[in-house]
A and B are shown apart, each in its own frame.
Chain A
Amino acid sequence: MKKNILKTAIIVLLLGAFVYMFQKYDVGEKFGRLFVVMQNITHSLKNAKPAYEEVNLTITDEELKDINISKISKEIKSLIDKRKEQLSKAPPQISTDEIRGEEKPVHNKLNVREAKIVKLEDLPDKFKPLKEFLHQPFKMGACQICHDSNSKKPGALVQKEIEDVCYECHKTRYTKEFDHTPVKEGRCTDCHDPHQSNVRMLLKAESTNDLCMKCHDRKSSFGAKAKKLFVDMDLSTKHKPIVEKSCLECHDAHTADHKSLLYMDGKMDLCLDCHDDEREKIRHSKFKHGGVNTSEKRCLECHNPHATKEKKLLKKEPVAGCLSCHNKEVKSDEDGGMLMNMKKHLDENPNWHKPIKDVEKEGGCSACHDPHGSDNFSMLRKSFTKNFYADLENKDFFCFECHTEKKITKQYISKSSEHNITAFRDGDVNLHYLHVNDRKGRSCRACHDEHASKYNYLIRDYTDFNGIKFPLRFIESAEGGSCAPACHKEFAYDRVNPKGIGK
Chain B
Amino acid sequence: MRFDYIFAKAFLVLAIFFTAAFAEGKFMQILTPKQNHLQTELTLNIVLEVDKKRVDTIKIRTPLEDISIDIKSKKKTECKNIELRFGENRVDIRAYKESVLVAQEVRDVYVSSELYHQFRYPPKKYSHTYFHNQEGEKLCAKCHDMSVNEVENVAFKDITKSNCYGCHKSINKEKYAHAPSANWLCTSCHKESKENLSKYLTKEPAYASCFECHEESKETWSSAKYRHEPLDYGRCDKCHNPHSSAYPMFIRKEVNLICLECHKDKHIGQNFACSGANEGDLCTECHTPHASNQPFFLKKRSKRAPR
Contacts and interface: CB of A to CB of B under 8 A. Distances in A.
Are these two chains actual partners, yes or no?
A: yes
Interface of A: 462, 465-471, 473, 486-487, 489
A465 B153 CA distance: 10
B155 interface: yes
Nearest to B155: A470
Interface of B: 153-157, 175, 177, 179-180, 182-183, 185, 188, 213, 215
Contact of A469 (B154, B175, B177, B213): B154
A468 B177 contact: no
A489 B175 contact: yes
Contact of B153 (A467, A471, A489): A467
A468 B157 contact: no
Contacts of A489: 175, 177, 182
Contacts of B156: 471
Contacts of A467: 153, 213
B40 to A, nearest CB: 24
A468 B157 CA distance: 13
B153 A468 contact: yes
16 contacts: A462-B155, A466-B213, A467-B153, A468-B153, A468-B179, A468-B185, A469-B154, A470-B155, A470-B183, A471-B156, A471-B183, A486-B155, A486-B180, A486-B182, A489-B177, A489-B182
Contacts of B188: 468
B105 to A, nearest CB: 38
Contacts of A486: 155, 179-180, 182-183
Closest 4 CB pairs of A and B: A486-B179, A466-B213, A469-B154, A470-B155
A487 B153 contact: no
Contacts of A473: 157
A487 B179 CA distance: 6
Contacts of A470: 155, 179, 183
Contacts of B175: 489
Contacts of B185: 468
B178 to A, nearest CB: 9
B157 A471 contact: yes
A462 B182 contact: no
Contacts of B182: 486, 489
Contacts of B157: 471, 473
Given A468-B180, A470-B183, 13 more contacts: A466-B213, A467-B153, A467-B213, A468-B213, A469-B154, A469-B155, A470-B155, A470-B179, A471-B155, A471-B183, A486-B155, A486-B180, A486-B183
Contacts of A466: 213, 215
Nearest to A470: B155
Contacts of B213: 466-468
> Which residue, B156, B177, B183, B188, has most C-beta atoms of chain A within 10 A?
B183
Contacts of A487: 179
> Which residue, B175, B182, B185, has most C-beta atoms of chain A within 10 A?
B182
A473 B179 CA distance: 14
Nearest to A468: B153
B76 to A, nearest CB: 36
Contacts of A468: 153-155, 179-180, 185, 188, 213
Contacts of A469: 153-155
Contacts of B183: 470-471, 486
B241 to A, nearest CB: 15
A430 B3 CA distance: 85
Nearest to B180: A468
B179 A465 contact: yes
A486 B182 CA distance: 7
A288 to B, nearest CB: 29
Nearest to B174: A489
B154 to A, nearest CB: 4
A469 B215 CA distance: 17
B62 to A, nearest CB: 27
Nearest to A463: B155
Nearest to A472: B157
Nearest to A464: B153
A489 B182 CA distance: 8
A467 B154 CA distance: 9
A471 B161 CA distance: 14
Contacts of A462: 154-155
A471 B213 CA distance: 18
Contacts of A471: 155-157, 183
A489 B179 CA distance: 10
Nearest to A389: B216
A174 B213 CA distance: 68
Nearest to A485: B179
> Which residue, B155, B156, B188, B215, has most C-beta atoms of chain A within 10 A?
B155
